[in-house]
Amino acid sequence: MPHKKEAWKDEMYGDEVREKIEEFAEKGWDAIPEEERDEWFSRFKFWGVFHHRGGQESYFMMRLTNCGGVLEPGQLKAIGEVARDYAKGPVENPEFGNGWIDFTTRQSIQLHWLKLEDIPEIWEKLEAVGVSSRSAGGDTMRNISGCPVAGKAEEYVESRELLDEIQAEIRGDDDLANMPRKFNISVTGCRQGCAQDSINDIGLEPAHKFIDGEEVRGFNVRVGGGLGGREPREARPLDLFVTRDQAKETVRAFVELYHEEGNRENRSKNRARFFVDEWGTDAIREELGERLDFELERAGTDFRREYTYNAGKPTEQGAHDHVGVYDQTDGKNYVGLSVPVGRMPAEDAIELADLASAYGSGEIRLSRRQNPLIMDVPDGRLAHLLNEDLLETYRPEPNPFEQGAMACTGTEFCSLALTETKARMARMLQWLAGEVELPDDVDRIKMHYSGCTADCGQAMTADIGLQGMRARKDGEMVEAMDVGVGGGIGEDPTFIEWVRQRVPADEVPGMIANLVEAYAALREEGQTFREWVDATGHETIVELAEPEEVEGYTDPCLADGKQSWYPFADGESPAPTDAEGQPLSADD
């Protein structure tokens, strides 16, 4: 029997949902029948509109979509202005204030604290500059990821136009909008591996092959990667090489196969990684051969040995991310800024957009590590840009803890999360930077924090991965974390191995400090954290990773345990509210 959400989608889905959102927005929160809210909130997600968690009724998040991380001139400024004017809640976040944007791990942006009544006006302002939220959530093909500097930096296979074609012709195909579950596509044309094909439902990686005596450039195809539910999978090779001209139709063929044959009954086992488990790569390859109008070639030689993006290799072998100053192929530069945990106040986002216009082309690009890149900066303007005050806050050369940090949304807004993430991680980063010394050649320790096992923060791929849990401490239920080490994407993708379970959140900074200080003292010269973990052995790592409370660190919401309507607020929730933000009466 199909899952109940399939029945909801059968009744209404896709573009027609927008009319209902606009209708509800005009009438107000109370217009959504209470007994139908789960259905409507599920449908809203197609348009990137997500209801916040319990206690925050009438507040929504909006997820935007921009293929491959590209924000054209004017787009970030419009997003920042929307955040300034509409994305403000009833209380301030202790680390970030009120009114900000979140950069995501799929190269896009989220806005929080939005009122339902404001959604149509927000769409109008964003769509006026070409920014959309369509197909940004729900059972859809999500934001397509790629090298954020595709078309601007060295690529073995050109991918920028290919990304746009997949966006327009496959992701934009209404007949494929209703997938069994969310579906992730990535295309990497460079040799760094920065689209992370290993953790996507289908990923194209650059490769070459001799065909009829000539070297041909193209892509190898991998399918069925993903991280969530403590059941991660590395995307598996289909032993299939396709040319640039064959790539789009190959992606379409696998999308259509999953669309037609994917499990629509058991939502806990119907992501594409489980589909690949069930079918097997041989059967999938054979089926694609039936659907495609060209003869399939066996896989070519890939460049995975050269992957450096989150690959745990020494920096001199290549860039781990896009933070810093880099050359473009046209003689200009791009400047990648470090935004700790991906959150930026609205006024800073507006200023960043202005700087991008003043010193570059105005184009901003976003990486998979929650960081923005200022594009097209001429040599003659570079020094002036680097001297701007904003770049003191979001530095191209941050400390090693900031540069490696990522965090998901957490209990601040997410109904699935078990712990708060962003403010806690920001506070941990500040403490670690001030208390822990690292060797000069260690320029980043990758710490990824997910509020639950869905792993939106990609903890499974980190040097140090944190996942939210609960634990008892001194007889009280507290927020806690499972902590693992040794993850990374690259030639040999590995997922973290768990070191400690249910560590109270206020003991995690001390645990990380003990572990990192041991690394600094015991490593061989030039050894990266991931290499040291592999060489040291699990039992020794467990002994070194001793949790402890530390001076100077105060946890922002240790005992909340998702019991309050907002982790940083006391008292009763003001929600639901009317269009002016006033609490609605509970009386009939």
**Catalytic amino acids?**
63, 181-182, 451, 456-457
Query: Residue 116 in contact with residue 28, Cβ under 8 Å?
Result: yes
| CA nearest to 139, candidates 2, 251, 32 | 2
Q: How far is CA 24 from CA 41, 53, 133, 236, 500, in A?
A: 12, 19, 18, 44, 47
| CA nearest to 42, candidates 173, 169, 182, 152 | 182
Query: Within 13 A of 316's CA, how many CA atoms are on the CB side?
Result: 5
Structure tokens at 410: 């957490």
Task: Classify the C-alpha dihedral 71-227-506-565 as positive or negative.
Answer: positive
Give the count of beta carbons closer than 10 Å to the beta carbon of residue 392. 9
Residues 6+ apart with CB under 8 A from 78: 125, 126, 128, 129, 131
| CA nearest to 78, candidates 434, 354, 424 | 354
Query: Residue 64 in contact with residue 110, Cβ under 8 Å?
Result: yes
DSSP 379-399: HHHHHHHHTSTHHHHS-SS--
Name the residue with tokens 């050359």. 327
Query: Residue 553 in contact with residue 431, Cβ under 8 Å?
Result: yes
The length of the chain, given as a count of residues: 588
Q: How far is CA 287 from CA 51, 239, 245, 258, 269, in A?
A: 39, 13, 20, 11, 21
DSSP 249-308: HHHHHHHHHHHHHS-SS-GGG-SHHHHHHHH-HHHHHHHHHHHSSS--B---EE-GGG--
Give the count of beta carbons closer than 10 Å to the beta carbon of residue 440. 6
Residues 6+ apart with CB under 8 A from 23: 31
Query: Residue 298 in contact with residue 221, Cβ under 8 Å?
Result: no
Name the residue with tokens 């040799």. 191
